[in-house]
Structure 1
Amino acid sequence: MLRSSVLTRFGPLHQRLCAWQTTAMPTPLSFARSFSVTARLGEILDISALPHRVQPKYKESPTSSLLSLQWPEPPRNLLIIPKFHAPQVTSSAVTFAKHVHKEYPLVNLVFERRVASQVHESLPFPIYTADPSALHDKIDLVATLGGDGTILRAASLFSLHSSVPPMLSFSMGSLGFLGEWKFDEYKRAWRQVYMSGSRVSVTDLQDPHTQAAVNRPPDDEESLQLHDAWSHVRGKSMGLTRSSKVLLRHRLKVGVYDTDGVNINSQLMPTSTAEPQQLLPPTPPALRKPTKGGEPMRQAFHAINELVIHRGPNPHLAIIDVYVNGRFLTEAVADGILVSTPTGSTAYSLSAGGSIMHPLVKALLITPICARSLSFRPLGLPLNSKVVLKVSEKNRGRELEVSIDGKRKTGVTIGMEIRVEGEMVGRTPNGGWAGGVPCVIRSPMSGNPSEDDDGWVGGLNGLLKFNYPFGEA
């Protein structure tokens, strides 16, 4: 009764309000349409929507043993990989992501699925994720926050491919021999790698419309084109000629073969319980046929550190026949055998008594693990050597365990073999490089090219305590 009297008294006003709402207010459908084109804050999107990968170029220098990173256009898709089970590192990854998004809004930020689910609510903008198999075609650059294990995890995401994106590594783990940068340098480190090869001067960045011709060589169409691509960036750059230095770390190519000579790499399983127990993509039918000796390895799994075959929980020593370039070398009786890269020479191989090798040395290192014979010493071989490890019949049917970079494993029995060879690196027809893991090296503040290798030397002295007297820290 009350409702009826109110409507009667204010009927004309009510009608006018209804008419105004009809003409001035959008319908619920129009609201839905207007917001459907804008991604929700904190949303996780699929990487398929991102542009394809930008392939960098690497230039050699007569004054440096390292390569120079040259982007043909600014990198757009950045994969951020923080250390697992480290809340402080995850927080740093969020800080880094917010900085990149704020200062470089055209960069898309990508995380592994598990990490994306942890950080997306802390980021007021959309992020991207995908299964590892989809990363290779999309990722321009990788940033790792953690120790050497985090770098290995990042490299393993591209273990089936000959081309790996450049890696910018911040040392935040228990062992940071491979990590070049401290995290408090993240702004300088990111800007350096993002601007690498842009040929943009400081004045160009500060005022691209009025100062575009300052400090640029005349009639240089390439410089002009590159400047336009980076013209949205403000602030300092690296100058016209400077660029990030890259150490291209060689990898191993590993193939596990059954008793019929068929590649079974697709049966390799992850070793980490933190990752999904996901098999590798199946071997294509054309590659399942047994290969003849001397042919290039097919369906290779790449390792940046080492391949190890060991006795596992068995109480008896493993017996392994070792062949080099098709010739029998020795019967190894030991806890196991390591085949390492120069990068891996300071990892498991070093703990087993192997030699330390500079990462630019093109070589393989065979290291026995607690060999029965004291005369079995570590061996250095050319990078293009083909090493075959066969499980001897003397193992009496016992299964040995194979581990690749500590990231994938499988079991091998009598008649099976592991084939290992060094991955060769070189130029591609489009001017890029194939092979290896390109790691961005921290540039010396002095700018002296002779200091290129100081990070490696400093690592020996500072982290490994190279040749320190016993008992001194």
Structure 2
Amino acid sequence: MAASSSTSTTGNAEVSQTDNGLIDSEKTIREIIQQPLLLENDDPLIEFSEALETVVKTLRRVTEAKASAQAEAAEWKRKYELERARNLQLEQKESKLLACSSMLSLGGRCSELNVEKGREPTEQTMFSDENRMQCELGGGEEGICSHLVLKNDGPDIESYAAQNKVMGKASFKLSWYCKGEKSDSHKHDIVSFEKGNITTAERSSKQICLTWESPPQTVLVATKPNSAPVRKACLEMVRWLKEHKNLNVFVEPRIKAELLEESSYYSFVQTWRDEDMPLLHTKVDLVLTLGGDGTVLWTASMFKGPVPPIVPFSLGSLGFMTTFSKDHFDKDLSSVLVGPVNIMLRHRLQCHIIRRDAAKSEGPILVLNEVTIDRGVSPFLTYLKCYWDGTFVTDVQGDGLILSTTSGSTAYSVAAGGSMVHPQVPGILFTPICPHSLSFRPLMLPENVSVRVVVPVGSRSSAWVSFDGKGRKELAPGDAIVCSMSRCPVPIASQSDPTSDFLRSIKSLLKWNLRETQLSDGPRH
């Protein structure tokens, strides 16, 4: 509504009013408050200023509540759409089961359930497809099948499986093992209440062994750019994969150009176009990375859903995740291609950016290490509001906040004062960056928590968010980011076992707890 201003002057204070006598905006209120008071008796103006300050705070709270409600509504809408899609998939499967039952009753054969006349489908067969839709560990009593961990989020799982069969994509299964010994069953943490006593079963090490059910045929090779040693190793490894194993080799478009520049011999390598990226996991059985942890992060980001097993070769600076040496790659790869292989499932975070304008929201974005929210080039403190599962937890005032996976606990999070956590521990690290509070300590949250971080409308400046150190985006006042654990982890091969690799990394790379041993001589009690 257009405001016609009338001006009344008392001393040097000028008050701008609307037609109905109410203040037009928070900006006008602040201008009034900041004007000098020159009257000898300024008590009425001080009271009026305090009243206006109260109005400013009320307007700010209303605006922040509205932005928070909009963000929460967008999140609930996303969850509703995901649940609706899941229900539609289940309905389609039920209709197929009914159709198969009808065919069986008429004496026909049902290829969907792989059963014939005279053979009733078992309960395990009837519900195998439903179990396939669950991307959870320990989903079955007899080990873990690949589709339970590396699940395809597409709308038609059966057509995806049929496509893999035609293409000859290798299948595998994952099984639990303890202390290096293979085990066909997972020892769940089962609670017993026998005789009124609460006890738990023996806890599994939750270490996983991959066994190929059919030999891998297609390998993707990803490399660190602008490195002469890496380029030399890539040439040697690609040639060996073709000549000694007769495998189909995929590389990034950049790498293919480098190989062809070296020799026309490498014309057999294949690559992909940008529009083919969403289906890349359907073509690749195994991934090899040549570089450091950054190369592994980049490679994982290429897969927006399930990730094939990754064998990382160390040619980088540190290498917490790269446990294989390039010096004897032929021996290591021969062992991996035959199997079994020790696997560590490294969890990822799934992030959605929710804008005040819902049409500009972004996501999902998958990260393997951390999500970093900082103040960017602004000289002001970052002001953030944090919610866990919709419940307000705390404000963050400082340089920023890190939401990290346990794999990323040895990266930016530990530099900001967070703890180092074994990668197999499921959880989300909540680490502030230089908080302006002596009592703000890092926390570790359970894996099922959804974290929402909001830039309040009253914040002095925008915040900036980056994902595994790249893809930097601005979060304007009123915007939010929602992070939760992804259902598709990154399976990375281990040289020996995950725990030994982790301890070796923190000791050799971070020099964890290295100290000269105290001499035995000296005073004694």
- Provide the C-alpha distance between the structure 1 equivalents of 2:506 and 2:178, rounded to a whole number of angstroms: 26
- Provide the C-alpha distance between the structure 1 equivalents of 2:430 and 2:359, rounded to a whole number of angstroms: 24
Kindly indicate whether residue 391 of structure 2 is the aligned counterpart of residue 330 of structure 1: no
C-alpha deviations, 1:347-398, integer Å up to 9, x for none? 11111111100001011100001111121111111011110000022323x2
Kindly indicate whether residue 335 of structure 2 is the aligned counterpart of residue 192 of structure 1: yes
Letter in 2 for 1:258: R
C-alpha deviations, 1:403-446, integer Å up to 9, x for none? 1112322111111110011124xxxxxxxxxx210000013xxx
1:182 to partner: Cα distance: 0.8
Letter in 2 for 1:380: M
Aligned twin of 1:127: 269
Aligned twin of 2:443: 379
Aligned twin of 1:175: 318
The 5 Å alignment of 1:53-452 reads 53-64=169-180, 65=205, 66-105=207-246, 107-122=247-262, 124-125=265-266, 126-131=268-273, 132-158=277-303, 160-161=304-305, 163-196=306-339, 243-261=340-358, 264-265=361-362, 299-396=363-460, 398-424=461-487, 435-443=488-496, 452=498
The 5 Å alignment of 1:34-45 reads none
Change (3 A) 1:406 1:56: farther
Larger-Rg structure: 2
Per the alignment, in what secondary structure is the counterpart of residue 380 of structure 2? Answer: coil
Aligned twin of 1:465: 511
Change (3 A) 1:406 1:257: same
Change (3 A) 1:370 1:452: closer
* Structure 1: runs of 5 or more not aligned: 1-49, 197-242, 266-298, 425-434, 444-450
Letter in 2 for 1:330: T
- Provide the C-alpha distance between the structure 2 equivalents of 1:419 and 1:263, rounded to a whole number of angstroms: 15
More helix by share: 2
C-alpha deviations, 1:40-88, integer Å up to 9, x for none? xxxxxxxxxx936434321122445321112221111111111111011
- Provide the C-alpha distance between the structure 2 equivalents of 1:417 and 1:52, rounded to a whole number of angstroms: 43
Letter in 1 for 2:490: V
**Given that residues 156 and 407 in structure 1 are in contact (C-alpha distance below 8 angstroms), is that contact kept between their aligned partners in structure 2?**
no
- Provide the C-alpha distance between the structure 1 equivalents of 2:228 and 2:409, rounded to a whole number of angstroms: 31
Tell me how large the CA RMSD over aligned residues is: 2.0
C-alpha deviations, 1:261-305, integer Å up to 9, x for none? 45732xxxxxxxxxxxxxxxxxxxxxxxxxxxxxxxxx5221110
**Given that residues 111 and 129 in structure 1 are in contact (C-alpha distance below 8 angstroms), is that contact kept between their aligned partners in structure 2?**
yes
* Structure 2: runs of 5 or more not aligned: 1-165, 181-204, 517-525
TM-score, length of structure 1 as denominator length: 0.65
Change (3 A) 1:149 1:464: same
TM-score, length of structure 2 as denominator length: 0.59
**Given that residues 120 and 127 in structure 1 are in contact (C-alpha distance below 8 angstroms), is that contact kept between their aligned partners in structure 2?**
no
Per the alignment, in what secondary structure is the counterpart of residue 143 of structure 1? Answer: strand
- Provide the C-alpha distance between the structure 1 equivalents of 2:245 and 2:282, rounded to a whole number of angstroms: 22
1:469 to partner: Cα distance: 4.9
**Given that residues 209 and 341 in structure 2 are in contact (C-alpha distance below 8 angstroms), is that contact kept between their aligned partners in structure 1?**
yes
Per the alignment, in what secondary structure is the counterpart of residue 362 of structure 1? Answer: coil
1:186 to partner: Cα distance: 0.4
- Provide the C-alpha distance between the structure 2 equivalents of 1:109 and 1:325, rounded to a whole number of angstroms: 44
Larger RCO: 1 or 2 (CA < 8 Å, sep 6+):
1
